[in-house]
Amino acid sequence: MTKRTVSPQRYGTVALAALLLGAATACTAGQDRTDGGQREPAGRIAHEAGAQQHTAPQSGAGETGAPVATAPRPGAPGAPRRSFTLVASGDVLPHDSIIRQSSADAGGDGYDFAPMLAGVRSVVSKADLAICHMETVYGDADGPYTGYPAFVSPPQVAAGLKATGYDSCSTASNHTLDAGADGIRRTLAAFDKAGLAHAGSARTAQEAARPALLKAGTAKVAQLAYTYGTNDYPLPDGQPWAVNLIDRRKIVADARAARKAGADVVVVSLHWGTEWQDEPDEQQLSLGRALTASATAGRPDIDLILGTHAHVPQAYEKVNGTYVVYGMGDQIAGTMFNHDGAVDERGNMSSIGRFTFAPPAAPGGRWEVSKAEFVPQFFDPETNRVVNLGAQGRGYGGVREHIRDVVLSRGAAKAGLTMGR
């Protein structure tokens, strides 16, 4: 991706430090071959704050726990609280080769992104709440569409994500302004049409001011999203709210506002870090410590941090009692080239985080992560398909081991993190 200069007045100290760590080559991609596939529908959680409203099932889905005898919520006397599972995955980055593949998978009539994601549909669709990261913006229905360096993707990506089982996506990235305000408008309109919630970019000040509030079983989850910068594309005139930029004080204020709006669990998606670096950088470490230390009346303001941008898998760590995923890697991307110009398969490695949240034992308490897992995955550039390496019995052994070693490199196994299927 393009590296540009930026003023500290505009982005703040934290955002500037992260931007200067970015590099120019990580979003480039090479040629890929095509293959076929079929589409399968999925999806089930409501977005309470967006332009559309959808009805969520009353009983939760997949791997929810048994009812827990806790104090009822205000306005719902006697209602038991249930555990719920949340899954989250990394960057969706449609290079030119990915766009060609989606056209082939649609039989040359439009674009279909569901087949390339089918390998992880069982993981995503079984969760009570599934969150993705949409790195790029969408074009008009009839195109044109482009890959690196200024990405404009087919709006059918949203339908493919929904068909896989995703409920919401973070949309704040360094590519959010690749097509200006029109790109944001088209992207969020496609999300609304597909029934996907979104956080991180907005069409109006009112939309920017409210969090994405999502239902997960009996719990209400707020998703907030921020990016280190926008490749120095200026914010649209008169629209300083168009993209959320990383600012510690704003993130904390937004998290507290989401809690006051009724969120049981607050999830923060951060587009941050240094590309092609397995280890989290100092900005990630320091901001992660600060955000997880923030609390109100003894209750943490943020319950989970989900990182994207580095294009390689990074560690999970429990910091101040809160899980921080520094980087999940690329879920969808063409063949990736590192800073030396060499093909680097780490750019097609990633993990899915899966967290089970249990309700508090007493009113006003925290929803605790009772089970934490990561599912290794690989986007195979030979087949243009996502492979679930947790379920894959053979092959990809070296890739699986690399992802596991990196994810566990900061001691998360001692905190209870395990590899799932």
Mean pLDDT of 252-281: 98
Query: pLDDT tens digit string along 339-379?
Result: 999 999 999 999 999 999 999 988 889 999 999 999 999 99
Give Cα 300 distance to the centre of its chain.
21
Strand 137-138 with 197-199, pairing: unpaired
Please state, in angstroms and rounded to a whole number, the distance separating the CA atoms of residues 209 and 138.
Answer: 23
**Residue 411, both tokens:** 């001691």
pLDDT of residue 392: 74
pTM for this entry: 0.84
Amino acid 78: pLDDT? 52
- Higher confidence at residue 159 or residue 69? 159
In this prediction, residue 145 carries a pLDDT of: 98
- Chain-centroid distance of CA 48 in Å reads 19
The two tokens of residue 116 are: 């390339």
What is d(CA 365, CA 299) in angstroms, rounded to the nearest whole number? 7
Q: What is the reported pLDDT for 69? A: 34
Q: What does the pLDDT read at residue 394?
A: 74
What does the pLDDT average to over 286-312?
98
Residue 28 has pLDDT above 60, yes or no: no
Kindly report, residue by residue over 221-240, the tens digit of the pLDDT.
999 999 999 999 999 999 99
Instruction: Please say whether the structural domain 17-419 has been given the CATH code 3.60.21.10.
Output: yes
Mean of pLDDT values over 129-147: 97
Give me the pLDDT at residue 348, please.
Answer: 98
Average pLDDT over residues 233-258: 98
Q: Is the pLDDT of residue 17 over 70?
A: no
> Cα dihedral sign for 393, 397, 403, 407?
positive
Write the pLDDT tens digit of every residue in 90-125: 999 999 999 999 999 999 999 999 999 999 999 999
Give the confidence band of 79 by pLDDT, cuts at 50, 70, 90.
low
Where does the pLDDT of residue 187 fall: very low under 50, low under 70, confident under 90, or very high at 90 and above?
very high
Q: Where are the domains of the chain?
A: 17-419
| pLDDT band at residue 395 using 50, 70 and 90 as cut-offs | confident
Cα-flanking dihedrals φ and ψ of residue 100, to 5°?
-60, -40
